[in-house]
Amino acid sequence: MSWDQYLDTLASYAVQGTESHLDFGAIIGTNGAKWTTDASARALKITPDQAVAIGNALDKKDFSSFQNGGIKIADVQYMYLRNDDSGDGVTVFGKKKDQGSVVLQSTKTAIVIGHCPEGKQQGICAVAVGKICDYLSSNGM
């Protein structure tokens, strides 16, 4: 199974009734290496530099760059809202008016990123991201 297939699973976890609360996602390593590709229809097209910046921030639990300059993913700069400790890692929340919101959650070796469309519930997106992280953590990742 390629990592891109995890994006479909991620999206399926964010469906409530007939509505999806997650449209795009990505999985990167805590070292910033991209695990998913941009080829998937569900790919959140994060640049290599953005992946490294996100990997460093979540791995070191240092969110000053997010607090000062936002969370940059693809062509959007999301406002950093908050972070929460989540077991092995941390969960970070961001939002951009009219662009939706993002949830980033880390495990020992991976960071799962979910994008929630504008007007949908970021909390449901966060639960979906958490389920993928739980699965990765249960496999030592």
Write out pLDDT tens, residues 64-79: 999 999 999 998 999 9
Enumerate the β-bridge partners of residue 16: 19
* C-alpha distances out from residue 27 to 10, 17, 30, 34, 46, Å: 10, 26, 10, 7, 10
Give 63's pLDDT tier (boundaries 50, 70, 90): very high
Phi-psi group of 87: left, alpha or beta (phi > 0 → left; psi -120 to 50 → alpha; rest → beta)? left
Task: Please state, in angstroms and as integers, the Cα–Cα distance from residue 113 to each residue in 18, 72, 131, following that order.
Answer: 22, 12, 12
Whether the pLDDT of residue 86 is over 80: the answer is: no
pTM of the predicted model over 0.85: yes
H/E stretch holding 130 reads helix 122-138
Residue 1 is predicted with a pLDDT of: 58
- The pair of structure tokens assigned to 10 is 């991620």
Among candidate residues 57, 138, 59, the one with its CA nearest the CA of residue 94? 57
Residue 89: pLDDT band by 50, 70, 90 thresholds? confident
Q: How far is the CA of 40 from the CAs of 28, 43, 49, 119, in angstroms?
A: 14, 5, 20, 24
